[in-house]
């Protein structure tokens, strides 16, 4: 049928070229032209879909399964190798089609190959469709919620509640904001988030200010339409910005809008390629710091860098292969370090205004998401030259540093994670566990797929979702995956962890009120997180939203707002039921209004006063 449609489309083009101009019937001309155009659109869509979806290794897969049943080991190995090569080739072709608008360089071709092998390994042996994945996420979320409920119902454990999916115990360390030094450090974390946010340039500026942002940028526009207007302040180097300089203007406007007039932009690189991330360098005269800010993921090329997640040795002298990091971000950090040295950017920054003492300023490295991971690794590379360097990594990727490198990074890296953010919980080792859990819940479910997906909405009661203990045998007439999928283990990968000391901003969700009552706002807390605790993806509607940079900044500020209102956390001994998205902590049990403290500060890490365990189960809801 497709061949017939293709021939018909060619005939249509021939007819148009011969008779279109001479035909006097305007309606017939327009109808024929529309039919031909639509026909070609359909043909092109079908071809692209087949190219991306069709798996030419299916025949090899069937042979592999038959050979495994006959226990022919050598033949199985050869077929397995052919299958992996074929699947990697298919994924490489799909990536190139998806990113067809990007220019291919050698580094990009290498990234295609590595990511293709990653996808081929992750999706191998799967016989599921996208709707199965959606249903699996719903089921996995239900399972996680049931496990939290079961933990809270146990009599003999130290977990008092869950905040943003993380267990709260009497050993949980909250930031002691009553301590002046701790408060100063936290405000510093909030302050440098503004630098990380500015690195996203004009797209994030317009997203935050959709109404007046465009007018603000247009007013400062310095494109060819306004040749008389000066382009940038003297002494500012701009690399590969667009013709209007929108990114550099947005960075400058960002600081002016925040009334940070003492910030001078020294260098802005908008160059964007695989393993080559945009960044800028600024001098903050108020804080007496030179700041390197690295942009997060904003383009398909950034996504290729993110996905190149194998372990790579950190190029730091004295640690012969013991320190490992995310390969894509190691290469990005090496690129930025090389750029700083070639352009002598830091020398320009520290010599910006010797009269104001810029020579003695400190160095700060910041970033969000991809930029956070790159900033942490860049700090490793720069620390021998700048031993007092500090790094602030906001929403860093989970699979970033090996354990020994992660422990060392706690000396100079402070990381921030908001709520159930997905990215700090994602690495190759975490993805392997997530894949196994997803396949397991799909195999155990007996509910119709449509019922599972609709049950995740408010269209039907939550009771329609399957219970955790519902199990189906592998002999069921409908299997979501091949029975042996879970027995084929993924290749072992080196465990990698998020960097530095982690400030985890968590929050509760008050109980839903009736329609006539005002809903109480959630209350935000800052706790010290364990790097190894971010080893499981928490399924939640907020797991993507809480990764956005401006949402992270709002979360950081809300912790200060709650503290300034005098809300001091007093976790009750009650075990509390977990709500669909968060722990539903009753404000009357947790918070009591108190004036700001006037006495001596509490010891660090004891911002919470926890009751004794004898009364822990007195108010179970």
Catalytic residues: 369, 421
Q: Are strands 501-507 and 166-168 parallel, antiparallel or unpaired?
A: unpaired
Burial of 551 (0-12, 13-18, 19+ CB in 10 A): middle
163, β-bridge pairs: 166
Cα–Cα distance, 110 to 210 (Å, whole number)? 38
Distance CA 575, CA 616 (A): 7
Neighbours of 129 (CB within 10 A): 12
Which conformational region is residue 71 in: left (phi greater than 0), alpha (psi within -120 to 50 degrees), or beta? left
- Give the CA dihedral 572, 577, 578, 579, nearest 10 degrees: -110
Helix (H/G/I), strand (E/B), else coil: 110? helix
DSSP letter at 485?
G
Instruction: Return d(Cα 275, Cα 306) in angstroms, integer.
Output: 9
Q: Note whether 498 and 480 are within 8 A (CB).
A: no
Report the helix count and the strand count for the chain, using DSSP H and E.
Answer: 20, 15
For the chain, the C-alpha Rg in angstroms (whole number) is: 28
Rounded to whole angstroms, what are the CA distances from 426 to 156, 162, 397, 406? 31, 21, 6, 16
Tell me whether strands 161-163 and 166-168 are parallel, antiparallel or unpaired: antiparallel
Backbone angles phi, psi at 612, to 5 degrees: -75, 160
Task: With beta carbons less than 8 A apart as the criterion, state whether 608 and 172 touch.
Answer: yes
Q: How many other CB atoms are there within 10 angstroms of residue 584's CB atom? A: 18
Distance CA(366)–CA(280), nearest Å, equals: 10
Task: Give CA–CA dist 618/588, Å, rounded.
Answer: 15
H or E segment to which residue 544 belongs? helix 542-545
Q: In 10 A of CB 160, how many CB atoms?
A: 25
Q: What is the separation of C-alpha 470 from the centre of its chain, rounded to a whole number of angstroms?
A: 32
Dihedral angle sign, alpha carbons of residues 48, 54, 56, 57: positive
Token duo for residue 472: 């189906």
Phi (first) and psi of residue 242, to 5 degrees: -75, 175
Exposed e or buried b per residue across 245-273, where buried means at least 16 C-beta atoms within 10 angstroms of its C-beta: bbbbbbbbbbbebeebeebbbbbbbbebb
> What residues does 293 pair with on adjacent strands?
280, 366
Output the CA–CA distances (angstroms, integers) from residue 215 to 57, 250, 398, in the order listed.
53, 11, 38
């Amino acid at each position: 049928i497709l061949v017939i449609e293709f021939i018909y489309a060619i005939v249509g083009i021939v007819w148009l070229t011969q008779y279109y101009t001479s035909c006097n019937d305007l309606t017939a001309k327009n109808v024929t032209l529309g039919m031909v155009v639509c026909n070609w659109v359909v043909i092109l869509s079908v071809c692209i879909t087949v190219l991306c979806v069709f798996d030419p290794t299916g025949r090899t897969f069937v042979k592999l399964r038959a050979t495994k049943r006959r226990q022919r080991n050598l033949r199985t190995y050869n077929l397995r190798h052919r299958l992996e090569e074929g699947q990697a080739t298919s994924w490489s072709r799909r990536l190139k089609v998806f990113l067809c608008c990007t220019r291919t360089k050698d580094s990009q071709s290498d990234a295609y190959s590595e990511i293709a092998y990653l996808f081929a390994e992750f999706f191998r042996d799967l016989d599921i469709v996208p709707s199965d994945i959606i249903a699996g996420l719903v089921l996995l979320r239900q399972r996680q919620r049931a496990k939290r409920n079961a933990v809270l119902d146990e009599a003999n454990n130290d977990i008092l509640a869950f905040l943003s999916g993380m267990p709260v115990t009497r050993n949980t360390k909250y930031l002691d904001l009553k301590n002046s030094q701790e408060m100063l450090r936290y405000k510093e974390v909030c302050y440098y988030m503004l630098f990380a946010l500015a690195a996203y340039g004009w797209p994030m500026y317009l997203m935050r200010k959709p109404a007046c942002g465009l007018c603000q940028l247009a007013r400062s526009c310095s494109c060819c339409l306004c040749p008389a207007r000066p382009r940038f302040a003297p002494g500012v180097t701009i690399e590969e910005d667009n013709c209007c300089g929108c990114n550099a203007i947005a960075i400058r406007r960002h600081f002016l809008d925040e009334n940070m007039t003492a910030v001078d932009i020294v260098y802005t690189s908008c160059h964007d390629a695989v393993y080559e991330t945009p960044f800028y360098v600024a001098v903050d005269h108020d804080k007496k710091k030179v700041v390197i800010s690295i942009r997060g993921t904003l383009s398909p090329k950034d996504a290729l860098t993110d996905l190149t997640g194998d372990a790579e040795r950190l190029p730091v002298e004295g640690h012969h292969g013991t320190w490992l990091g995310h390969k894509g971000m190691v290469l990005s950090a090496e690129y930025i370090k090389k750029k700083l040295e070639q352009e002598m950017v830091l020398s320009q920054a520290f010599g910006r205004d010797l009269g104001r003492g810029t020579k003695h300023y400190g160095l700060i490295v910041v970033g969000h998401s991809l930029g956070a991971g790159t900033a942490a690794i860049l700090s490793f590379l720069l620390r021998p030259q700048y031993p007092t360097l500090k790094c602030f990594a906001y929403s860093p990727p989970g699979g970033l540093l090996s354990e020994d490198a992660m422990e060392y990074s706690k000396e100079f890296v402070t990381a921030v994670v908001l709520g159930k953010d997905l990215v700090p919980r994602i690495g190759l080792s975490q993805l392997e566990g997530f894949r196994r859990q997803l396949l397991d819940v799909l195999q155990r479910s007996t509910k119709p797929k449509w019922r599972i997906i609709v049950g995740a909405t408010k269209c039907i009661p939550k009771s329609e979702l399957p219970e955790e203990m519902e199990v189906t045998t592998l002999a069921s007439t409908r299997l979501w995956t091949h029975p042996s999928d879970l027995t084929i283990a993924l290749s072992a990968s080196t465990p990698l962890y998020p960097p530095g000391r982690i400030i985890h901003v968590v929050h509760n969700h008050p109980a839903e009120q009736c329609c006539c009552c005002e809903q109480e706002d959630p209350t935000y807390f800052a706790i010290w997180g364990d790097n190894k605790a971010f080893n499981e993806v928490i399924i939640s509607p907020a797991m993507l939203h809480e990764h956005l940079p401006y949402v992270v900044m709002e979360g950081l500020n809300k912790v200060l707002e709650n503290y300034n209102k005098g809300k001091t956390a007093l976790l009750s001994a009650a075990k509390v039921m977990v709500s669909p998205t968060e722990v539903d902590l009753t404000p009357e049990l947790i918070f009591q209004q108190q004036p700001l403290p006037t006495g001596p500060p509490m010891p660090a890490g004891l911002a919470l006063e926890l009751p004794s365990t004898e009364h822990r189960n007195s108010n179970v809801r």
